[in-house]
Structure 1
Amino acid sequence: MTENAAPEPCYAGAYWGPRRESPEDCARRTAHLLPLLASCDPFLAQWYKPTRSTRDRRAHPLMPPDEAVLSDLFRGGANRESGGPIIEELGYSFWFGNGGSGADSASLQIKCGEYAGANPNCCLMPLPRKGLNAERITTAPVLTSIVRSQVLAWEPDWAVATSDDYRKRMSPTSDAGTFVGWVTYFSRHRGTVPPLPAPVRIEPVENMGTLIILTPERVTTHDAGHVQLGRRVGELLGRAGLLRPVVP
């Protein structure tokens, strides 16, 4: 499978366990993330507030990021019982997009500040599925930059960039932290990454953790070698104690 083959739809997601944070904390991290994403690819340089109408989706830009505006958006996404107070331990969430439409779009779905321990916090980024933007973004260098950006902003326990198809082939449960993607990140506190077979590449992310890039080629489930490599790397990481759920 070559780089010119149609890419399998990909996403990038960062996940972390219970972490009590305020709407202002979440806004600060998001304001850090957005310029980093803009440096990854021009398609990720514009983001907009969520709107009810697709007609005016570009009327409310979030770039350059304003922490006060982002704080209000997170505060508006607080979990609460109907007519009741905010359930603080369940954190805050909101979704917003880059102004694209249909298969040629990207979005960010952020859940943070949860400290009940029921589900992981996350910064999930579905990426364009078709077209020139998808072709350009669905490459090892860009996906690595996206994951690195998520790590620098959110300090997650684990992160991954891969396709849904590849995720399903690597793990029957697909729980966050339990499988290998095209690009995978492990926080330093999860353990030490062991030596891995070629063509796997390992990169540090400052003093925070380690990125693993499975192959410079576009990973696809149609390539038996890619599937075998992912399973072999998963076995080695599992023996090292790295593949465990972010939230047990």
Structure 2
Amino acid sequence: MAKTYKRIDSYYAGAYWGPRKETPEECARRAEAFLAAIANIDPAFSQWFEGGRSRKDALKRPIEPSGEALEKRVRRGRDRQFESLGYSVWAWNGAPDDYDACGFNFYCGGYSEGQSNCCVVDLPTRGPNAERVLSVPVLTGLVRSMALAWEPDSAIATSTMHRDAVSPDGIAETFVGWLMYFPHSRGRVPPLPAPVRIEPVEDKGMLIILTPERLTAENPEHVELGQRVHELLNKAGLLRPVVS
């Protein structure tokens, strides 16, 4: 009999915004603020490395999180043909176990029509880093840091299996996840049912925490709660694509 393997759920956090023309200096300043903030949230976010031909090679290429060093990396990540497509940077945290590793990438400064910019952090799925990171306190800090540094049109931290179950197209701004952020400019967050928690992110916007426990697509209560919250947020006009 053929063996069946259970799919391992994965988690990520992402901030998304539409066309915004920014210089390499401005993108680097945002990246510097973001990396400084998350370094204080959890050890998994405290060091980063460039990609390499091998793990050993990548570990020789640490990323200096200062504005000047980041600006050089941003400039190297520009699109060679079209300036309007902005800049990209990719990094990995060097964890020895791939399942317990984190990585991030950001696209910044793109301003062509229909352009989407983003900062996405791939989170660990199992291991000691995952046990700490996949928790409301850590993800709250991560999403708040994204909101303050990148000033996105929306941000989310969630499970990919839950995303796939509730959103056929997977457009981040159009479905409900574990944690969500909406700036005040996007609209007013309506009252939401328990156990959902709503808290301000300074004067920028509001953070929504769907459930205090780890969100999974296998928990029918999580799925049902997500559907109820989706109806309320959609009615309030918050669940619309950043780029139409």
Instruction: Tell me how far 1:109 sits from its aligned partner.
Output: 0.7
Q: Does 2:91 correspond to 1:96?
A: yes
Structure 2 equivalent of residue 54 of structure 1: 55
2:18–2:114 contact (8 Å) kept in structure 1: no
1:18–1:116 contact (8 Å) kept in structure 2: yes
Instruction: Tell me how far 1:149 sits from its aligned partner.
Output: 0.8
Structure 2 equivalent of residue 68 of structure 1: 68
Name the Cα RMSD after superposition. Answer: 1.5
AA aligned to 2:38 is L
Structure 2 equivalent of residue 79 of structure 1: 79
Structure 2 equivalent of residue 140 of structure 1: 136
Distance in 2 between the 1:177 and 1:218 partners? 20
CA deviations on 1:15-53 (whole Å, 9 max, x unpaired) are 001100111111111111112111111111111233333
Distance in 1 between the 2:179 and 2:113 partners? 26
Q: Share of identical aligned residues, percent?
A: 52
Segments of 5+ residues of structure 2 without an aligned counterpart are 1-6
Superposed, which structure 2 residues align to 1:1-248 within 5 Å? Answer: 8-63=9-64, 65-81=65-81, 87-101=82-96, 102-248=98-244
Distance in 1 between the 2:216 and 2:71 partners? 38
- Aligned structure 1 segments of 4 or more residues deviating by more than 4 angstroms: none
Distance in 2 between the 1:145 and 1:66 partners? 21
Instruction: Tell me how far 1:220 sits from its aligned partner.
Output: 0.7
1:193–1:240 contact (8 Å) kept in structure 2: yes
Q: TM-score w.r.t. structure 1 length?
A: 0.91
1:13–1:159 contact (8 Å) kept in structure 2: yes
Segments of 5+ residues of structure 1 without an aligned counterpart are 1-5, 82-86
Instruction: Tell me how far 1:77 sits from its aligned partner.
Output: 1.1
Instruction: Tell me how far 1:94 sits from its aligned partner.
Output: 1.6
Distance in 2 between the 1:141 and 1:7 partners? 23
Structure 2 equivalent of residue 3 of structure 1: none
Distance in 1 between the 2:59 and 2:204 partners? 35
- 2:129 aligned counterpart, secondary structure: helix
Equivalences, count: 237
